[in-house]
Amino acid sequence: MKPNIDQTAFGSITIEGTTFDHDVIIRLNGQVKKRKKKLSKAIYGTSHILSLDEARHVYEPEVKRLIIGSGQQGNVRLSEEAAAYFKQKRCQVDLLPTPEAIHVWDEATGSAIGLFHVTC
């Protein structure tokens, strides 16, 4: 069962009453994990571009949808390689500013995972 996201503000996200002050991934089993943004930062020098390495880390078999909160102002994007990877896996990607993405997440049905950037 996926956890509900209560709210987000610049620098934080609150999930089921617990506030996190870092980017998170919500796994298919509902576990909340810290995002490994170093996988993207090592390649692009920023965590605002999701690399193929990070896409591989985020993806789980059986997932049909990835909801990405791209930051409070929507600065995160997929690299071309990451976009192609998700397309090849037939995984729909919804890329929205984090305040919008949390509403999409809470209303989503089916097998979904989430990645939420909490700053810019």
pLDDT at residue 84 tops 90: yes
Residue 40, in any domain of the structure: yes
Residue 5, in any domain of the structure: no
pLDDT at residue 2 tops 90: no
What are the Cα distances from residue 74, in Å, to 28, 31, 60, 109? 24, 24, 24, 23
pLDDT at residue 1 tops 70: no
41: containing domain: 22-117
Domain tally for the chain?
1
Residue 13, in any domain of the structure: no
Residue 17, in any domain of the structure: no
Q: What is the CA radius of gyration of the chain?
A: 13
Residue 110, in any domain of the structure: yes
Q: What is the pTM of this model?
A: 0.96
Q: What is the mean pLDDT of residues 17-40?
A: 97
* Ramachandran class of 76: left when φ > 0, alpha when ψ lies in -120 to 50, beta otherwise: beta
Q: What is the mean pLDDT of residues 67-71?
A: 98
Read off the CATH number of the domain in which 50 is found.
3.40.1230.10
